Amino acid sequence: MAGGTHRVPFARRGSVLGEADLAALAELVRAEGTLTSGVWRDRFEERFRERIGARHALTVTSGTVALELATRLLDLAPGDEVIATPQTFQATIQPLLDHDVRVRFCDVDPDTLNMDPDVLETLVTDRTRAIFLVHYGGNPADMDRIMAIARRHGAIVVEDSAHGIGTLYKGRHPGALADIGCFSFHSTKNITTLGEGGMITLARDEWAERVLRIRDNEVDGVFTPRTDAGEERPALLPWMKFADSVYRHTAVGIRGAGTNATMSEAAAAVGMVQLDSLDRFVDRRRWIAGRLDEALSAFPGVRLHRAAPDSRHSYHLYTFFLTAGREVREHFVRAVDLLGVEIQLRYFPLHLSPEWRLRGHGAGECPQAERVWFEEHMNLPCHPGLTDDQVDHLVTAVTRAMREAYEKAGAKAHLARTA
Ligand SMILES: *Cc1c(COP(=O)(O)O)cnc(C)c1O
């Protein structure tokens, strides 16, 4: 499958950039002010926070960094357990590799590819510190049940909402459904901040204070205001702001070094414009998905990836399941590729990847995730950058490739029977 040459490519860009994005950049360039830690960042955070309904929303440089910070806030200790979905991009749980914790992979619901609460119930223990889940492809996880289980055991829930921007769960937005939310504005995501960027949403003030320190190159620690003024020190002059803060606080415990995870003003300016366009982008995704659903539901052996009636799927990924057998699936993939439609399967179950195998994980741990990925899983292009012509071609090509796949598989089965 030659990448980049398909008539209907998988998304390199998940959103559309235009005049309004350019105008925001022009305004920023002409203003001659700071290019970092400025008003655009503050405005973007405020607008995002309101949109999501989160207590705090803080920009960072990527979704991966948001997840690293989320993991850091958990203060994991040896012996702690963390439960995670295997059906996600590696960044969701990669930071856990740095910790001496036991990761338990929770199998998924084969209809949604989201964490299955029935399985979660069997994995949760008194040692479960956190649960990492994803709203797969933009279809929200079963949050009411997951949160009820988590609350009963005092576990913190991290929503990887990289696919969930524009998604609604019973009228509420991912990132405000649990304790910590992590968003990505990577080029392929539903909105982008010029290629890279991220946001972390937080339900606790203490976490927000820590993230502000960490992302701005300060030490992450437990600080208490100094009460005794007895220490010998040089007199402070009013402009000695930094020295003043050093003297005013006593570190009780250092948790770790800070870093620079500050989003640029250019990224935030574009983020503001993109956020205003989010509903339009998601409507376009939903329209394309509706056309694909309609075409595919004409075939037996197809299971669609649908949100519950009270929720809104944002179709970051268009997914369907081809249950007609390996042969039909392989014929379909080949035929649709020849017709110019690019397929990329998202994602390989993480518990089967080398880094988690080295930690003792492997086949059999999540039977549904494994079965669906190896036997049924399909993703098709679905993004607002596709023109009407491309969408027409996509739907026609999918229909034709499905017919061919059934015919070929059927003919072969017939030949095998008559041989
Ligand atoms: C894209 C993505 C990430 C990582 O975000 P980046 O901004 O690319 O670092 C994390 N989790 C999921 C599920 C993603 O799709």
Q: Are residues 228 and 352 in the same domain?
A: no
What distance in Å separates the CA atoms of residue 389 and residue 10, rounded to the nearest whole number? 15
Residue 7 lies in a domain: no
Residue 356 lies in a domain: yes
* Interior/surface letters 280-289, b for 16+ CB within 10 angstroms, e for the rest: ebbebbbebb
What distance in Å separates the CA atoms of residue 353 and residue 137, rounded to the nearest whole number? 20
DSSP 30: H
If you search the block for the tokens 């990289």, which residue do you land on?
Answer: 162
Q: Are residues 285 and 346 in the same domain?
A: yes
Domain harbouring 369, CATH code: 3.90.1150.10
Query: What mean pLDDT do residues 158-170 have?
Result: 98
Q: How confident is the model at residue 227 (pLDDT cuts 50, 70, 90)?
A: low
Query: What mean pLDDT do residues 207-224 have?
Result: 93
**pLDDT score of 15 more than 80:** yes
Least confident of 108-112, 239-243, 379-383: 239-243
The tokens for 257 are 């070094």
**pLDDT score of 254 more than 70:** yes
Q: Are residues 317 and 199 in the same domain?
A: no
Q: Is the dihedral of CA 346, 361, 183, 171 positive or negative?
A: positive
**From ligand 1's centre to the CA of 30, what distance in Å?**
32
Give the chain's end-to-end CA distance (angstroms, integer). 33
> Between 222 and 419, whose confidence is greater?
222
Per-residue pLDDT, 242: 63
Q: Does 192 contact ligand 1 (Cβ within 6 A)?
A: no
Q: 291-302: per-residue pLDDT in tens? A: 999 999 999 999
CA-proximal residue: ligand 1, atom 3 (nearest): 63
What distance in Å separates the CA atoms of residue 401 and residue 343, rounded to the nearest whole number? 13
* Interior/surface letters 365-393, b for 16+ CB within 10 angstroms, e for the rest: bbebbbebbeebbbbbbbbbbbeeebbeb
The tokens for 199 are 């946001």
**pLDDT score of 1 more than 60:** no
Structural domain of 248: 220-256
If you search the block for the tokens 């929770």, which residue do you land on?
Answer: 106
Residue 4 lies in a domain: no
Residue 202 backbone dihedrals phi, psi, to 5 degrees: -140, 140
CA-proximal residue: ligand 1, atom 5 (nearest): 63
Residue 61 lies in a domain: yes
Domain harbouring 163, CATH code: 3.40.640.10
Query: What mean pLDDT do residues 266-280 have?
Result: 98
Per-residue pLDDT, 2: 43
Q: How confident is the model at residue 32 (pLDDT cuts 50, 70, 90)?
A: confident
pTM of the model: 0.95
Of 231, 246, 266, the domain-final residue? 266
**From ligand 1's centre to the CA of 398, what distance in Å?**
28
What distance in Å separates the CA atoms of residue 376 and residue 408, rounded to the nearest whole number? 18
Q: Does 198 contact ligand 1 (Cβ within 6 A)?
A: yes
DSSP 341: B
Residue 11 lies in a domain: no
Residue 103 lies in a domain: yes
Cα distances from 341 to residues 97, 380, 395, 401, 403, in angstroms, run: 36, 8, 10, 10, 15
Per-residue pLDDT, 253: 86
Query: What mean pLDDT do residues 229-237 have?
Result: 65
If you search the block for the tokens 């397929």, which residue do you land on?
Answer: 343
Q: Are residues 67 and 137 in the same domain?
A: yes
Q: Are residues 212 and 225 in the same domain?
A: no
The tokens for 31 are 């203003």
Q: 329-374: per-residue pLDDT in tens? A: 999 999 999 999 999 999 999 999 999 999 999 999 999 999 999 9
Bridge partners, residue 156, by sequence: 130
Q: State the pairing for strand pair 81-84/102-105.
A: parallel
Query: Helix, strand or coil for residue 107?
Result: coil
Q: Mean pLDDT for the chain?
A: 94
CA-proximal residue: ligand 1, atom 2 (nearest): 162
Q: Is the dihedral of CA 360, 159, 189, 22 positive or negative?
A: negative
Q: 174-195: per-residue pLDDT in tens? A: 999 999 999 999 999 999 999 9
What distance in Å separates the CA atoms of residue 318 and residue 304, rounded to the nearest whole number? 9
Mutate to test the pocket of ligand 1, among 15, 59, 88, 92 (most ligand atoms within 8 A of CB): 92
Q: State the pairing for strand pair 168-169/311-312.
A: antiparallel
Domain count across the chain: 3
**pLDDT score of 415 more than 70:** no
